[in-house]
Homo-oligomer: A and B are copies of this chain.
Amino acid sequence: MAMRPTIPVKPTSNVGELLEGMSKTGFQGRRLGESVDIWSRMIQDRECTIFLGLSGAMIPAGMKECLISLVENHYIDVLVSTGANIFHDLCEHFGVRHYLGHHHVDDGDLFSRGIDRIYDVFAYEEEFRSVDQRIADFAAGIAPFKGSSREFIRLAGEWAIRECADGRSLISACVRNNVPVFIPALCDSSIGIGLVMARRNGISVDVDQISDADEITRMVEGSPSTGVVYIGGGVPKNFIQQTQVIASIHDSDLGGHAYAIQYTTDAPHWGGLSGCTFEEAISWGKESVSSPRTQCFCDATIALPLVTSALHAKALKRKGKDAVSLCLPE
Contact residues of A with B, CB < 8 Å? 3-16, 18, 21-22, 24-30, 32, 55-57, 60-66, 69, 84, 97-101, 103-104, 107-108, 110-111, 115-122, 125, 129, 132, 184-190, 192-193, 195-197, 199-200, 205-214, 217, 232, 234-235, 238-239, 242, 245-246, 249, 265-274, 276, 279-285, 289, 297-299, 301-306, 308-309, 311-313
Of the candidates B98, B108, B280, B306, the one whose C-beta lies within 8 Å of that of A26 is: B98
| Minimal Cβ-Cβ distance residue in B for A185 | B185
Chain B residues contacting A209 (CB-CB under 8 Å) are 185-187, 192, 207, 209
A6 in contact with B188 given A18-B306, A26-B301, A301-B28 (CB within 8 Å):
no
Can you name 22 A-B residue pairings with CB atoms under 8 Å?
A: A8-B65, A9-B65, A12-B15, A22-B302, A25-B62, A26-B121, A28-B301, A30-B62, A56-B270, A84-B238, A108-B282, A110-B283, A118-B271, A184-B188, A188-B242, A196-B214, A197-B246, A197-B249, A206-B208, A266-B266, A269-B297, A297-B299
CB distance from A140 to the nearest CB of B (A): 13
Q: Are B11 and A246 in contact (CB under 8 A)?
A: no
Of the candidates B193, B276, B279, the one whose C-beta lies within 8 Å of that of A246 is: B193
Considering the chains assembled together, what is the distance between the CA atoms of A160 and B138 in angstroms? 40
Q: Which of A60, A61, A271 has the most CB of B within 10 A?
A: A271
Count copies of this chain in the complex. 4
**Ranked 6 nearest A-B pairs via Cβ:** A25-B62, A29-B301, A26-B61, A185-B185, A28-B299, A3-B99
A8 in contact with B108 given A115-B283, A235-B234 (CB within 8 Å):
no
Q: Are A272 and B232 in contact (CB under 8 A)?
A: yes
Q: Are B24 and A100 in contact (CB under 8 A)?
A: yes
CB distance from A214 to the nearest CB of B (A): 5
CB distance from A300 to the nearest CB of B (A): 8
Q: Are A3 and B100 in contact (CB under 8 A)?
A: yes
Q: Are B60 and A26 in contact (CB under 8 A)?
A: yes
| Minimal Cβ-Cβ distance residue in B for A67 | B8
Q: Are B61 and A25 in contact (CB under 8 A)?
A: yes
Chain B residues contacting A267 (CB-CB under 8 Å) are 265, 267, 269, 297
